[in-house]
Amino acid sequence: MNVIGVKSIYEFIKKHAQAESPVVAWLAEAKEAEWASRSVVQDRYGGRVSFTPQGNTVFRLGGNKYRLVARVSFNTQTMSIVWIGTHAEYNKRRF
């Protein structure tokens, strides 16, 4: 996957240093991934991923402490980071 918006991930890590390990590990995996469909992502992440009616993919990272919302295009193998934050911050937003 070509991941767009990585800067927001590193800005988040600056504020939440404890998130670095799980978030950077997820990012490395996402960059290497060749996901063909939502079902492939679901098979890989199980209950740690969900899909919104608006077309976003929500990843639960760090034991569900953090949420990363992305727009994934399987045809172009591109993922755009929409938002990253804590679980509590995510609950205050609508995607």
What pLDDT score was predicted for residue 93? 86
8 A C-beta contact, residue 20 and residue 13: yes
The structural architecture, per CATH, of the domain 2-91 is: 2-Layer Sandwich (3.30)
DSSP state of 37: S
pLDDT tens readout for residues 35-47: 999 999 999 999 9
* CA torsion through residues 18, 85, 4, 59, sign: positive
Q: What is the pTM of this model?
A: 0.94
Among candidate residues 49, 42, 40, 34, the one with its CA nearest the CA of residue 79: 34
Parse the chain into domains and list their residue ranges: 2-91
pLDDT tens readout for residues 52-88: 999 999 999 999 999 999 999 999 999 999 999 999 9
